[in-house]
Chain A
């Protein structure tokens, strides 16, 4: 079974702190994604990566950056956390390349981040 793990289930940080959210997948997937989920707004794509050291902006990249130094690991970075970044953060992964039609995305358990 595909397994996507996230470093923390719950996280509380203070405004202005630098925050790292880590995601690891064990299926050798090329693609990895970060979403946030908010009541009334649903899930929205922040960033994604299709290869090591490659990244693409999603719908709402402002205030975030990402890092992918190894194929299995994708990090989301909040350079200076703000209260409006309080949210549920979900990581996902999928195969890429020529198998695009089969790109089933698998999600991690989520990290609920509270910024005070």
Chain B
């Protein structure tokens, strides 16, 4: 069964720093990986989806990489801002097959950007 781990569980950095969030998964037979952001008490906002054939994906100040063979993904946030404060979650399909698969999630990294 797929398991997803995110390190660190919490991170607090000053505004302006570049930072890296880590995600690892146990079964490398995935067809995509998705990064989300969650603000307190709210739903999830999709940030990036990386297909298994891709190595990285970029959106604005965010860059996500995927190394399937080692079971790892990283989310790089450049020039962090207080508005980036949130919990960041990575998720992969729950089952290794295709079709409609739910996601299995890591526990998230709680990020605080200090002004």
Contacts and interface: CB of A to CB of B under 8 A. Distances in A.
Given A101-B31, A101-B52, A102-B51, A45 B102 contact: yes
Interface size band for A: 20 to 34
Interface in B89-115: 89, 91, 93-94, 98-108
A107 B46 contact: yes
A62 interface: no
Nearest to A50: B100
Given A42-B107, A43-B105, A30 B44 contact: no
Interface residues of B, number: 29
B49 A42 contact: no
B46 A106 contact: yes
A21 B60 CA distance: 35
Contacts of B41: 110, 112
Interface in A1-40: 4, 30-31, 33, 35, 40
Contacts of B53: 101
Interface of B: 31-32, 34, 36, 41-46, 49, 51-53, 89, 91, 93-94, 98-108
Given A43-B89, A50-B99, A109-B42, 11 more contacts: A4-B43, A33-B102, A40-B107, A48-B100, A96-B99, A96-B100, A100-B31, A101-B52, A105-B46, A106-B46, A107-B43
